[in-house]
Chains A and B, each alone.
Chain A
Amino acid sequence: MTHPTTQTVEAPATTLAVDARDLHKSFGAVAAVNGVSLAIKPGEIVAFLGPNGAGKTTTIDMLLGLSVPSHGTVSIYGHTPRGAIARGQVSAVMQSGGLLKDLTVRETLELTATLFADTRPVDEVLERAGITEIASRMVEKCSGGQQQRLRFALALLSDPGLLILDEPTTGMDVEGRRDFWAAIRADAARGRTVVFATHYLEEADAYADRIILLRRGKIVADGSAAEIKNLAAGRTVTARLNAPDQPAIAGLPGVDSVSVQGGKVSVHTKDSDVVARYLLTQTDAVDLEITSNNLEDAFVALTGDDAQTPSLAEGN
């Protein structure tokens, strides 16, 4: 095309680290993953949080190309999962297994390193994973925590753009866990994207920039830890009270919901002070209690069996 048009220079769109669209995966009649879409930017640290059977591992397997979605597409830095793996662009630390017992720690790394076009030096990843001293030890002689560090070292070899971790700190002691996350954060600062599945709420709370809450194969919430906590909304004020004026309470600023059961009123609110002040000064309320919601409450509220499939999911 040669006709002279004014060219608009667009900023190059940043390639997403993970661009998954409408993933479905069924095993027989069971839909393990049922319409999951993910857009993860380079450098983000994202936690997949959810109860057993929520679809975390199935989703990870599809991101890694270990299983093929029944429907939907996955793109990792603009490549298919297999294409991204062939370029050393994505690596993963699995929960268990995956190591040969009859190799030493160093041999395992040397062998794996030969399979990539470019890798970091073996000595460097040994040091980063904190296993330099056990480099010549046979894998079968290593403790569970040491084996987990070796898996981490293997994942670091290709200096991947995307690191996927399935329950990464299982078997590590408290100190090991803290060191591990320090190393992960340092890497994220270099532009490494990290996606991890965990059932440790504190871990997701403390280390993830973003938490994706999964329930029954669907995303039920997606946001920062603070945003997720807010989804299960602030605090609950309860009190004993004769003839509560429900509309008046519901009209107070910050109140999300009011329920009355027997002589007890329970108010879900973002501003517990206003509710407490009202109840104690304008009514005959007694036994007033204020409880705050934490991530665990949000987790239970959003992923529990009786949770409504909330409109909260769109709250991102």
Chain B
Amino acid sequence: MSTMSTPRIRLPGSASEGEEIEIRTLLTHPMITGVSSDDPRDMLTRFEARMNGETVFAYDFENGSAANPTFTFFIRAAAPGEFTFTWTHEDGQSVSAEESVSIS
């Protein structure tokens, strides 16, 4: 697989308990299906967003998912506001990012 780059996450630094927060994620990745080129397949299989240890949003990638996958979604913020975002490659390797939202 290609080397996984550093994910980019955009979310607010603080929020009230129960407040809606917008989360945007981007991972630079070629997402090569291997269908129409000689390049070997190089695809992510899953993205997961966890809040306080619980999976709150996920996505299973298939061939029609664009390169440099990006997502926007809206979460009800809950204390303590610890977020983990994980992208898993078809070969089993993964890259994660951790973010904290201060909940008041």
Asked if A pairs with B, the answer is: no
Q: Which residues of B line the A interface, CB within 8 A?
A: none
